Each structure stands twice: as C-alpha cells, then as structure tokens.
C-alpha cells in the first residue's frame, strides 16, 4: 500500500546548537531533514521522504504504516500485582466510580504530567 507524506506523524524540534529546525517522521525516524525555518524543514523532509519511499520500494524494504491510519479498539489487557489491583479498586469504590473510570483518570493524569 502507498501512503502519503502527510499521513505520517511529523515531529519538529529546534536544534539550538546549529540554530535550525529539524523534522522527522515518527514512524521512521531515519527519515529526517533540517531547515532554517519550520516550513523549510518540512519541505526538505518531504523531499527526503519521497526518495526514501522510492528506495524502500526498489530494495523491498518495509514501509511502516502511519500511526494516524491505525485503528485502535480502546481495549488492552494489563497484568498488575494483586496488591495494586486491590488499591485501585479501593480508590474506585471510595470515589464511587468504576475501576475502568478510575484507571482512565490515573492514566490521563500521568500522561498530562509527562
């Protein structure tokens, strides 16, 4: 399957040492470029991306699926120590919410703090 450049997650950062912007594709970090502005870095990245796709197809290298196109079920299995399981259930009961709601709260709180 062929993917478009903007299907991918593009990450931008400032390279303070060289005073320029870097851009790379999260799903393929080896695909990267730099520019004096964000726009230039992204335009350069698009050129690198096109060449990377061309070479990958020629050499039969795998091209990763863009994370933006993946479907997520919203479910996963998590194993944890019994003592932690007990503490979370106790907190959920004290908060008068389900275990699922309690876990969503803690995960969201942790992600926002990161």
pLDDT of the residue at 69: 87
pLDDT at 68: 84
Residues 17 and 40 in one domain: yes
What's the domain range around 76? 72-113
pLDDT (0 to 100) of residue 107: 93
Q: How many CA atoms lie within 13 A of 40 on its CB side?
A: 7
Which residue numbers in the chain have pLDDT < 50? none
Please list the residues that pair with 35 across neighbouring strands: 21
Half-sphere exposure of 102 (CA within 13 A, CB side): 16
Predicted TM-score (pTM) of the model is: 0.65
- Structurally, the chain folds into a number of domains equal to 2
Q: Are residues 85 and 58 in the same domain?
A: no
- The pLDDT of residue 1 is 67
Contact 9, 66 (CB under 8 A): yes
């Amino acid at each position: 399957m062929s993917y478009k450049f903007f299907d991918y997650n593009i990450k931008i950062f400032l390279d303070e040492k060289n005073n320029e912007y870097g851009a790379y594709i999260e799903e393929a970090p080896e695909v990267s470029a730099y520019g004096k502005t964000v726009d230039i870095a992204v335009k350069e990245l698009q050129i690198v991306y096109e060449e990377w796709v061309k070479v990958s197809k020629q050499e039969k290298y795998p091209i990763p699926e863009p994370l933006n196109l993946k479907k997520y079920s919203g479910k996963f299995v998590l194993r944890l120590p019994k003592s932690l399981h007990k503490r979370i259930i106790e907190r959920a009961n004290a908060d008068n919410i389900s275990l699922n709601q309690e876990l969503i709260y803690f995960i969201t709180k942790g992600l926002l703090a990161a």
